[in-house]
Structure 1
């Protein structure tokens, strides 16, 4: 497709941009269909003759794909034939309608969606999505396996608008919007983190659709835990992050906070430490890690003592932070050397 750009971006982020503006009108429908297929999965699409523009901006962050679409009206169908012909397209799409209006139909449900509302659809089953006026959407495309939900669970949450009037909507919309808006500049680790929060909230939503009471039920607990984990992740760099501070921020007692984490099989303090260690480990695996001191990494993620950090890192991963950094660098160097030898071999053949 001649009018798309792929930009490596910072680190592992991979972004692709499609624009129909410069495509001849005679080819625009085919171009747009192919762009949508590459992004969401194959669809039959109808575009009015007067359509002059459309863009798709997509960024891959781990298992999550963040997508912004701006376009003139369109009417998309994913038929049983297309589903049957699809190869490895077992994806779920979570979509926020930012501008325009929409009508979504799936799993014997048909709903009208207003700006500011979210909706979910499953690419493994037929879909009808009508966008009758100029629109903008922000979407997350993720494999169903990442959700941990079977087909019947996903079917409970499809084609149902989720707005700010619900607790899930108030939490899910900001997570999704933030991730899509900042995807191109978002470190992969942060993107995966926010994506995990979105996945947790979708799982809670599926639980609610089973008819569970959301006040004192397991679903309500999971919503609170999701909110607490997001708060902890946003505060990891603060050395004063403690269970007391976490409890105070969520208007619960420390005792109740510890009770919540008992169900997770870990203490609050251990959870904070584990998340800090994960971020330190990622930071030490970066290409520029040799320019950063071990103490600098430890302090960056809230450890007040470099020696304590080294001890808990070794206990968690079986090697010191220095050894981990060196092993990653050595592996990277070996891969580079192998690629260099392969390139020289190709040159000799040529």
Structure 2
């Protein structure tokens, strides 16, 4: 699974927790000075996930204020951009004369190579904690004009609509459930996250033409994939409805999938079949008719579902369910496998 490093101050007595956090921040690539009214018992946690081209940090901490000064920058300048998603509490961001208040579900963006101030306050100051997910992006990795980025510093961007919502969902999923991914997925996940971040920032620059064509293509494809996954149960899902939802022509949608060596229709079909196959082996759904499962995932026609399932897996849906749900058959298969290995 993806590697995650965790720092949790609760492993120490309350009086030593804030010092532990200050040491952690001092060791990061972009250290800051921090103040908190909760320094006497600073209950905090940080989860670090390295995705190759980008790094993610999922923070949970009491209310605090922080500043990165010119002196600290001279001591350590990793040349990083910071894209921060507030997930709980209210944040503040200030850089190059721009000040913003950041609510839960919103992003802010700043350059760690320039002085800046940030704050984050829990909704319930006495016992609550604020939380955020920071995406660290090397200057050299972001394919946008550096001279244009200052327009975004200290600003606020939505994480609840369009590309911003897709990026927020990606960050929450990866940092919240790293065990669901293989280590081999690291670089690909990093590329997806960087593409989404690049596209969102490019759109807020009102200069999408500044975003490289290939980055835009991959970001749009990720958006289309997410849309298909959300609407698999809709029997009317089709290349036309997908194209309409993304304000592109069907021809453009087909070209988008040509590079993936696939078609829109086959992608929809394969995702639906995968959901059906999963549900057919779910013990909790054993009493549900096969056709009810098929209809749930967009296959209202029984004969059509049986035909495409058999073509994909070489077995009928009912036979597949029986071969994977009957404990006796499972035991027999396991015994056969063991005996075969011994015979070899």
TM category, shorter: 0.5 to 0.7
Shift of 1:234: 10
The 5-angstrom pairing of residues 149-298 of structure 1 reads 149-164=144-159, 166-212=161-207, 226-229=219-222, 231=224, 249-251=242-244, 252-257=248-253, 261=256, 268-272=257-261
Preserved CA contact (<8 Å) 2:199 2:219:
no
Q: Do structure 1's residue 18 and structure 2's residue 14 form an aligned pair?
A: no
Q: Could you say which residue in structure 2 is the equivalent of 1:82?
A: 72
RMSD: 3.5
Structure 2 contact 17–43 (Cα < 8 Å) conserved: no
Unaligned runs of 5+ in 1: 1-9, 236-243, 262-267, 274-303, 305-350
Question: Is the 1:62–1:188 Cα contact (8 Å) retained in structure 2?
Answer: no
Q: Runs of 4 or more off by more than 6 Å in structure 1?
A: 217-222
Distance 1:130 1:229 in 2: 32
Distance change >3 Å, CA 99–CA 270, structure 1 → 2: closer
Contact 1:75 1:130 (C-alpha < 8 Å) held by counterparts: yes
- Aligned-partner Cα distance in 2 for 1:184–1:161: 31
Quote the offset at 1:219 in angstroms: 6.8
Offset at residue 17 of structure 1 (A)? 1.2
Q: Describe the SS at the equivalent of 2:154.
A: coil
**Cα distance, 1:25 vs. partner?**
4.8
1:130 to 2:119 alignment? yes
User: Once the 2 structures are TM-superposed, how far is the Cα of residue 79 of structure 1 from its aligned partner?
Assistant: 0.6
Q: Could you tell me which residue of structure 1 aligns to residue 94 of structure 2?
A: 105
SS at match of 2:31: coil
Please state whether the residue corresponding to 1:98 is helix, strand or coil: strand
CA distance in 1, matches of 2:32, 2:238: 49
- Matched length: 246
Cα distance in 1 between the residues matched to 2:156 and 2:56: 20
Distance 2:201 2:98 in 1: 16
Contact in 1 for aligned 2:57/2:133 (Cα 8 Å): yes
Q: Which runs of 5+ in 2 are unaligned?
A: 123-128, 229-236, 263-311, 313-344
